[in-house]
Structures are given as C-alpha cells and as structure tokens.
Amino acid sequence: MDPARRERFDETTPDRHYRTIAAAIAFIRAHAGAQPTLEEIAAAVHLSPHHLQRLFAVWAGISPKRFLQYLTKEYAKRRLAAAADVLSVAADAGLSSTSRLHDLMVSCEAMTPGEIKSGGRGLEIGHGFAPSPFGEALVAWTARGVCHFAFCIADEAAMLAELSARWPGATLMRDDARAGALLRQVFPATPTRGNIHLVLRGTNFQIKVWEALIHTEFGEVVSYSQLARQAGAPKAQRAVGSALAANSIGFLIPCHRVIRESGEAGHYRWGSDRKLAMLGWEAARGGM
C-alpha cells in the first residue's frame, strides 16, 4: 500500500475518515429508496469497493450495508419504541450504561445565575481545535470542566467569535494540545474508563433536558415527546426542541440521539449528515 493510502486508514486522521463517511452518508440519504450497492456508494466517494469497506470497518466497526440498515426508518423506529423503557430505567437507577462513551462517565453541574450574568468575568477558559471521528471540533474548558464542544461548521475565526460571545468577560487561552488530549479521552481508540465533568450554562428547564440526555444509553434514540416526559414537562415538546438548539456541548450532551416520532433524524445544530453518522457509529459500538 502506498504512503498516501496508508495515511487514509491511519487512526490518527479520524477527521479525514469522517469527511469520506459524511460524503457516503449524503449519497445514501439521497438514494435510500434504491438501496444503493457497495459499488455505487464507493463510486460516489471515489474509492474502490474494497477500500470503502475497509474504511467503514476502521471508522464504524461495521460494513456499509449494515450502516445503511441503521439509516432506514424502520430500524430507527424500532429503537425509538424501545427507548422509553431505557430512559425510565436509567433515570430510576440514576445510572447510565457502562458501555456509554466507551465507559466514559459524564457528570455535570450548572453555573449560578451570577456567573452567567457576569459572562465569565475573571474566568480563564482554555480552548483549542482538534480532530474527532466526526470532523474537526472546538472544545473549551474551565478549571471545573468542559464548557463548550462544537463541531467546525465555519472557519476558525467564526468559531472563536462564537465562543468569545458566549463568555465575553472571560480570558481565553488557546491550547490545541490539551484539546487533542480531551478529545482522545472522549473518543479513545480502545475502550477506556474515565470521567468528564461538564459545566452547564442554561435555564433550569434546559438543564433538566440536558441532564436527561446524559442518562440516555449509548446507541439509543429518543423522541421529543419521550424526552419531554423525562424532563418532567410532557407537553413541552417545542421547549425541548429549543433546549436542544441551545446546547453548546455537542456529543457529550447527546442531542444527536433525539429523532422524530416517524423515525426521521430531524435537524441538528452541526448538520443532519453528522447526526446520522453519530447515530450509526454509536449503534455499531453499542451492539446495533
């Protein structure tokens, strides 16, 4: 295998893998009714069928065909139907699956109204850009934990301007090496036990919604109505949607697991193709 091709499958280039997978997912979505073959999907992303199959195995742990099965409505609807009980059990036990995030336990605390009002005045916030299985991401943290996690859908200047606008009183300190280490903890090459603490900034209702999401199972999906019930407001589906849109900590607060009752993926702050990639990737690692 030539060096360029070796690099393509190197575990140190997950963002490059994601760009190819995202293009394949976009093609699959556009042609889902025809159930495209491996050869057709490979041609669309300019790879041979063999190399596409291998890339999927490296990236998702499953074949493109199995991934395509996940992306069908019927499969999503079956998972959605099972998710109600998963949510209630997890909430009653106060625990989430030991397989979630590769045994990474996520805990959180809310900022006080005074801290929010001050815009982080006097606070030092580290931040940096690093690759992830779903593309380049900007992650930021305080001494108390991660406060921002956004996938790059704009240039660096725009991403940093958004972060600065959320924390106008804070001192921002760039550290790409630390950002890379954090993302390797979130997305380890092999299952690894660890802990991530989140610092949440939102209304009481938004925080209830985000906490309910943190307790969902790795690889599971929930509907807006199921999540509203879990947050203690069964008629507040539109407010749940607003809470998801306000989430600035991607993946760790897994709003990508919320789909429509019909089984459609629905919208996602960082792109619907990325959302489908996350759901398929988690399903493959959660026993699909």
Q: Could you give the residue numbers annotated as active site? A: 255
Burial class (CB in 10 A: 0-12, 13-18, 19+), 15: middle
Rg (CA), the chain: 19
Q: Is 145 helix (H, G, I), strand (E, B) or coil?
A: strand
Return the structure tokens found at 223: 């509907």
Return the structure tokens found at 285: 């690692």
Burial class (CB in 10 A: 0-12, 13-18, 19+), 146: buried
Please list, residue by residue across 173-208, b when 16 or more beta carbons sit within 10 angstroms of its beta carbon and e when fewer do: eeeeebbbebbeebbeeeeeeeebebbbbbeebbbb
* C-alpha pair distances (Å), 171 with each of 43, 137, 141: 48, 20, 12
Return the structure tokens found at 147: 């406060």
Beta bridge partners of 140: 127, 148
Query: What is the C-alpha separation between 62 and 24, in angstroms, rounded?
Result: 14
Alpha carbon 9 to its chain's center: 22
- Please report how many Cα atoms fall inside a 13 Å half-sphere around the Cα of residue 188, on the Cβ side: 13
Query: What is the C-alpha separation between 130 and 252, in angstroms, rounded?
Result: 16
Query: What is the C-alpha separation between 70 and 6, in angstroms, rounded?
Result: 28
